[in-house]
Amino acid sequence: TTRHATPSIPSRSLQTQQPANILEEARAKLHVSSVPESLPCREQEFQDIYSFVESKIIDSTGGCMYISGVPGTGKTATVHEVIRCLQHAANMDEIPPFHFIEINGMKMTDPHQAYVQILQKLTGQKATADHAAALLEKRFSNLAHRKETTVLLVDELDLLWTRKQNVLYNLFEWPTRRHTRLVVLTIANTMDLPERIMINRVASRLGLTRMSFQPYTFRQLLQIIMSRLNKMRAFEEDALQLVSRKVAALSGDARRCLDICRRATEICEQSASDPNSTVLVGMSHMMEALNEMFSSPYVTAIKCASTQEQFFLRAVIAEFRRLGVEEATFQQVFVQHQALCRVEGLQSISVSEGLAVCQRLGACRLLLLETSCLGVLQRVRLNVSQDDILYALKAN
């Protein structure tokens, strides 16, 4: 029997359809995977990284750089663009040629796989992790003259952390050797990662060449969308203002911003009566998309819960108020539940049904429960704030 152990995306048999109307075209342009030629609002960062790598290549030395920033601030895209420009320059014989390899911590099953992947991308050789480490060690310590510089991009650096930190150590140790001609660019999310998780000898080798990508402001987000749309009239001006202000206030994540815009075009398309008419995406569509993305599913879940489940949540809050602690056992809550049922004139339920109600709420993570083996003695805590529950219960 054949086993397809490696999961993969099924291959496309049909050609992708060309965008038919203006909204579909806008959607294609706003897709996260269609990275534009030049990144707007990242000119300064681009310049810094470019000059760093270029100087290392021209001087034929090695070095490390640490790039940090919250998700969706364009770190990886900027580095890729830098490499693209450098390769273009190398092709034009403006700078010496160099070799670029990229590894991603997320794509590895084990931190030590980094050695295997680096070796494979450098030489095409396949080896076990230990053997690959030895081979790389030999390659980088060899004083023989290397012809070209290697630029190594390490994405998701924090996942390469091991207890002895030998992978990180080696990654930062190799560029410091003489004649290695290795430039390591590392990307991670937190700014203080070297200080938090790395031991001193690793952090010191990483050096102080750091760069942090600030989250986009609303003006920058607006500019990104505008540059992507490239003067295409699909959105109302106010709608774009709204989405960029909302996203900038929350996270400054460009990907999130693009997703919301694409969702808004879909909503606009559905609401339009005639599919061929040219309708602009307005404020109402954008509001709807924003609500879909940002509203808490907990409140909706509580609103849609059954009567007994809502009563149970109410009993939990009542019991917490009585105890003054944010934790109670199931039997304490159940006594409250029965009293509540009696007050509301409902038939009180059995303990088994009560446990079923409680465990259903626990399964959708409205409550935090202990293991069900404990029966009526399991402790109940809330996973949502009491205000959210009261708001949701009051609404209906």
Partner 1 sequence: MTALLKHPGYNEERLQRVAEQLPCREVQVGMLLSLMGQPQQYSYPSVFIYGHRASGKSHVMHVLMKELELPHATVSCVECVSVVLLFEQVLLSFFGCDAASLLPRSPSLSDFVRIYRQQCSQSPAKQTRYIVMEKAELLRDTDASLLPALLRLQELVEDNVTVILLSEIIWDKFRPNTGCFEPLLLHFPDYSKGELQQILSQNRHSSYSAEFYSTYINILLGVFYSVCRDLRELRHLAALNFSKFCEPLAEGKVKETDTHKLWKHIEPHLKKAMQTVYLREVSSLQWEQMQQMEEKEAGALRGLSAHTHVELPYYSKFLLIAAYLASYNPARTDKRFFLKHHGKIRKTNFLKKNEKTSNHLLGPKPFPLDRLLAIFYSVVDSRVAPTASIFSQISSLVTLQLLAQVSHDDQLDAPKYKCAVSLEFICAISRTVNFDIVKYLYDFL
Residues that bind partner 1 (CB under 8 A): 1, 352, 355-356, 359-360, 362-364, 369, 371-373, 375
* Identity of the residue, 169 or 298, whose beta carbon is nearer to partner 1 in the bound complex: 298
Length of the chain in residues, anyone?
Answer: 396
Residue 351 sits at φ, ψ, to 5 deg, of -65, -40
The b/e string for 324-333 (b: 16+ C-beta within 10 A; e otherwise) is eeeebebebb
Residue 312 sits at φ, ψ, to 5 deg, of -65, -40
* Identity of the residue, 177 or 360, whose beta carbon is nearer to partner 1 in the bound complex: 360
* Identity of the residue, 142 or 372, whose beta carbon is nearer to partner 1 in the bound complex: 372
Residue 341 C-beta: closest distance to partner 1, Å: 19
Residue 2 C-beta: closest distance to partner 1, Å: 11
* Identity of the residue, 203 or 302, whose beta carbon is nearer to partner 1 in the bound complex: 302
Residue 313 C-beta: closest distance to partner 1, Å: 17
Sheet holding 149-155, edge to edge: 98-104, 149-155, 182-188, 63-69, 210-213
Residue 336 C-beta: closest distance to partner 1, Å: 19
Residues 98, 90: contact at Cβ < 8 Å? yes
- Helices 218-229 and 254-271: angle between axes, nearest 10 degrees: 60
* Identity of the residue, 71 or 375, whose beta carbon is nearer to partner 1 in the bound complex: 375
- Angle among Cα 81, 83, 85 to the nearest 5 degrees reads 70
Q: Which amino acid is at 63?
A: G
H and E: helices and strands count for the chain = 17, 8
Residue 391 C-beta: closest distance to partner 1, Å: 25
Residue 316 C-beta: closest distance to partner 1, Å: 17
Residue 146 C-beta: closest distance to partner 1, Å: 45
Rounded Cα distance between 100 and 87, Å, is 9
* Identity of the residue, 343 or 373, whose beta carbon is nearer to partner 1 in the bound complex: 373
* Identity of the residue, 175 or 354, whose beta carbon is nearer to partner 1 in the bound complex: 354
Work out the number of other CB atoms within 10 angstroms of the CB of residue 365: 13
Half-sphere exposure of 80 (CA within 13 A, CB side): 12
